[in-house]
Chain A
């Protein structure tokens, strides 16, 4: 299908997200500056200052208050957004669980950055990975285009009445947030129609239906039931994420699924990766294929909910699979979070590849093609020998 009126621009990732937010035109944005997210709130503030949006900007005094104000605004039936990074997400911790527990369809871009200590402003996924059990949907982006596309789709996913869960849109700090890329924007009215009118499960500002939000479950014990509801909503979100991804494809020519595969059909070994590193890995896999080496790759977009069954189906024919994690779990040898999740998903299946885990890029350590080649050679050894010598590996660590 031909897509007309394409607008091609050169944007840094933060501008791409701010532009998506302008087109979404949220009623309230509450945010606090933190590197490398700051440019999003700066750019969006300028848009608000110039009257390009109807948004009330709430320049709060901390990220804890940013999420708290966003919770208040979303519970008031308005479309509410915030954005953050790293320590800011850490400071929000308590309220992340409140946002999902209150079933508020908040959308929050998080520019991935390492967590202290030592303090480090560069990219890894330790901030958002720690929040993987907070009841938020998590969508990873490979580049500015995907960050923009994911932000728009996130509204529609969050506000679906079978879901009503908050969504985190993830983009790698500096690598995506501060690098200029060619990307395409949608027209304002197309985005407006796509996201539609705001839809929240209840509103404090409905005078005909006053509600008590955030009730206390300390005496009779229904907490368990509410947690099960959240898990069910997360399950429901699979089909919604899929539909929204397809609909977005009709609108933009760029459709989205839980993950993207490259050369996987006939691959002997493959890489599973999320975020900007997918670009490096894809480039390398292409080179390997040009040299007749049967490599493949999967770029995981939807980390929460975790599409375990689909990932197993897409990888079980491999002889070896390398899971790339840009964060550690400090579990004493269990590997990174994606590795742990996928290994767990494989437990019920007999047919499985040999699996290895590469923890890479912590604190912004570059993932070079040379490092991917090093991993490739190790994978080829695994295929050849039929055994994994070292399950968890630190790629690019000075040893």
Chain B
């Protein structure tokens, strides 16, 4: 069930669902945890052999796989733990400073 919670902080007590039930499954995807990162994973498509090791070890469901191929890292949710870089057998993921990456983006 779609649930518009954009204004929830201003809701009167009688607008909330009874018993604090959440009827929109998986709606935490509206909450972006990417802002927690201090390190950013950079995925090198050249080195990647699509073994998907990063995918099975990611704590934040942030490895996007399409047609059996590692496509990209979902930076909206990635918290920058670096497990993917640590476990990658081909060193195809490098962790870089998030602030520097943001500066680069804003240039």
Contact = CB atoms under 8 A, between A and B. Distances in A.
Is chain B in direct contact with chain A in the complex (CB below 8 A)? Answer: yes
Interface of A: 101-104, 164, 201-202, 209-215, 217, 220, 222, 224-226, 228-229, 232
Contacts of B23: 202, 209, 211-212
B16 A213 contact: no
B98 to A, nearest CB: 24
The 9 closest A-B pairs by CB, nearest first: A225-B13, A212-B22, A103-B19, A228-B13, A210-B25, A102-B19, A103-B18, A215-B20, A225-B16
B14 interface: yes
A104 B11 CA distance: 23
Contacts of B18: 103, 164, 201, 229
B21 A217 contact: no
A101 B22 contact: no
Interface string B61-82: 0000000000000000000000
Contacts of A217: 20
Contact of B22 (A103, A201, A215, A228): A215
Interface residues of B, number: 15
Interface in B1-22: 1, 8-9, 11-14, 16, 18-22
9 contacts: A103-B19, A164-B19, A201-B18, A211-B25, A212-B21, A217-B20, A220-B8, A226-B16, A228-B13
Interface in B35-79: none
B30 to A, nearest CB: 14
Nearest to A100: B19
Contact of A215 (B1, B11, B12, B21): B21
A201 B19 contact: yes
A232 B9 CA distance: 21
B54 to A, nearest CB: 28
B9 A226 contact: no
A164 B8 CA distance: 23
Nearest to A208: B1
A123 B14 CA distance: 40
A71 to B, nearest CB: 11
Given A209-B1, A228-B13, A222 B21 contact: no
B21 A201 contact: yes
Nearest to A161: B18
A229 B14 contact: yes
A211 B21 contact: yes
Contacts of A220: 8-9
A327 B18 CA distance: 33
B21 A202 contact: yes
Contacts of A213: 19, 21
A232 B21 contact: no
Given A103-B19, A104-B19, 14 more contacts: A101-B20, A164-B18, A202-B23, A210-B25, A212-B21, A212-B23, A213-B19, A215-B21, A217-B20, A220-B9, A226-B13, A226-B19, A226-B20, A232-B14
A239 B92 CA distance: 68
